[in-house]
Chains A and B, each alone.
Chain A
Amino acid sequence: MSATEVLDAPHHAEHGEHHHNPFQAHHFDDPEQQYDAGKLGIWLFLVTEVLFFSGMFCAYAMYRSLHPEVWEFSSRFLNPTLGAFNTGVLLFSSLTMAWGVRCAQLRQAKGLAICLTLTLGCASIFLGVKAIEYSHKWDLGLLPASMYTIQSTVTEHHEGISKWLVIFSIIPALCLAGFVGWWVWAWSNNKKAIADIAGPFAITAACYFLGVLFGMFFESGGDKEAHGPMAAVAHATVAHDSHEAHDEHATVGGSAGGHGTANAADASVDKPGGAGLFFSIYYCMTGVHALHIIGGMVVLAWLLVRATKNHFNEEYFGPVDYVGLYWHLVDLIWIYLFPLLYLIT
Chain B
Amino acid sequence: MSTTSHAAGSEHDSQGHHGFSHPMPVWQLLAVFAALIVLTALTVFQSKFDLGNLEVWLSLFIATVKASLVILFFMHMIHDKPLNVIVFMGSFIFVALFLGFVLMDAHGYKDVVEPQEAPPAATTP
Among candidates B37, B66, B103, residue contacting A61 with C-beta atoms closer than 8 Å: B103
1/0 per position for A255-275, CB-CB distance to B under 8 A? 110000000000000000000
Say if the beta carbon of A40 comes within 8 Å of chain B: yes
A51 touches B91 (CB 8 A): yes
4 shortest A-B CB distances, which residue pairs? Answer: A339-B59, A343-B47, A105-B21, A47-B91
Among candidates B71, B87, B102, residue contacting A332 with C-beta atoms closer than 8 Å: B71
Among candidates B1, B12, B99, B107, residue contacting A30 with C-beta atoms closer than 8 Å: B12
Q: Find the A residue at minimum CB distance from B5.
A: A15
Distance from A3 Cβ to chain B, minimum over Cβ atoms (Å): 10
Interface-facing stretch out of A86-94, A168-176, A185-193: A86-94
Q: Find the A residue at minimum CB distance from B106.
A: A62
Among candidates A88, A314, A335, residue contacting B19 with C-beta atoms closer than 8 Å: A314
Say if the beta carbon of A106 comes within 8 Å of chain B: yes
Say if the beta carbon of B112 comes within 8 Å of chain A: no
Q: Find the B residue at minimum CB distance from A251.
A: B120
1/0 per position for B33-47, CB-CB distance to A under 8 A? 100110010011001
A315 touches B19 (CB 8 A): yes
Across-interface contacts of A106 in B (CB, < 8 A): 18, 23
Among candidates A35, A46, A99, A329, residue contacting B29 with C-beta atoms closer than 8 Å: A99
| A interface size (C-beta, 8 A) | 65
Say if the beta carbon of B14 comes within 8 Å of chain A: no
Say if the beta carbon of A223 comes within 8 Å of chain B: no
Across-interface contacts of B12 in A (CB, < 8 A): 19, 30, 32, 315
| Known A50-B92, A88-B37: A31·B87 in contact at CB below 8 Å | no
Measured in the bound complex, the distance between the Cα atoms of B1 and A255 in whole Å is 87
Interface size class of B (residues with CB under 8 A): 35 or more
Distance from A268 Cβ to chain B, minimum over Cβ atoms (Å): 9
B123 touches A253 (CB 8 A): yes
Measured in the bound complex, the distance between the Cα atoms of B30 and A105 in whole Å is 18
B123 touches A345 (CB 8 A): no
Measured in the bound complex, the distance between the Cα atoms of B7 and A4 in whole Å is 11
Among candidates B2, B75, B99, residue contacting A328 with C-beta atoms closer than 8 Å: B75
Among candidates A40, A255, A324, A331, residue contacting B121 with C-beta atoms closer than 8 Å: A255
Measured in the bound complex, the distance between the Cα atoms of B99 and A51 in whole Å is 11
Across-interface contacts of B8 in A (CB, < 8 A): 29-30, 32
A336 touches B67 (CB 8 A): yes
| Known A47-B91, A62-B102, A88-B40: A102·B23 in contact at CB below 8 Å | yes
Among candidates A31, A58, A102, A335, residue contacting B98 with C-beta atoms closer than 8 Å: A58
Q: Find the A residue at minimum CB distance from B83.
A: A40
Measured in the bound complex, the distance between the Cα atoms of B122 and A255 in whole Å is 10
Across-interface contacts of B70 in A (CB, < 8 A): 94, 328, 331-332, 335
Q: Find the B residue at minimum CB distance from A84.
A: B44
Within 8 A of B (CB), among A12-67: 15, 19, 29-32, 35-36, 39-40, 43-44, 46-47, 50-51, 54-55, 57-58, 61-62, 65-66
Say if the beta carbon of A80 comes within 8 Å of chain B: yes
Distance from B18 Cβ to chain A, minimum over Cβ atoms (Å): 5
| Known A30-B12, A46-B88: A91·B33 in contact at CB below 8 Å | yes
Distance from B109 Cβ to chain A, minimum over Cβ atoms (Å): 11
Distance from A296 Cβ to chain B, minimum over Cβ atoms (Å): 14
A336-B67, A338-B40 known; 20 new pairs, CB 8 Å cut-off, are A32-B20, A35-B20, A39-B84, A46-B91, A47-B87, A47-B88, A47-B91, A61-B99, A66-B110, A94-B70, A95-B30, A95-B32, A97-B74, A98-B32, A102-B29, A250-B120, A256-B120, A314-B19, A340-B60, A343-B44
Q: Find the B residue at minimum CB distance from A14.
A: B2
Across-interface contacts of B73 in A (CB, < 8 A): 98
A54 touches B95 (CB 8 A): yes
Across-interface contacts of B71 in A (CB, < 8 A): 328, 332
Across-interface contacts of A105 in B (CB, < 8 A): 18, 21-23
Say if the beta carbon of A205 comes within 8 Å of chain B: no
Within 8 A of B (CB), among A297-314: 314
Among candidates B66, B74, B83, B90, residue contacting A47 with C-beta atoms closer than 8 Å: B90
Across-interface contacts of B19 in A (CB, < 8 A): 31-32, 314-315
Distance from A64 Cβ to chain B, minimum over Cβ atoms (Å): 8
Within 8 A of A (CB), among B42-100: 43-44, 47-50, 55-56, 59-60, 62-63, 66-67, 70-71, 73-76, 80-81, 83-84, 87-88, 90-92, 94-95, 98-99
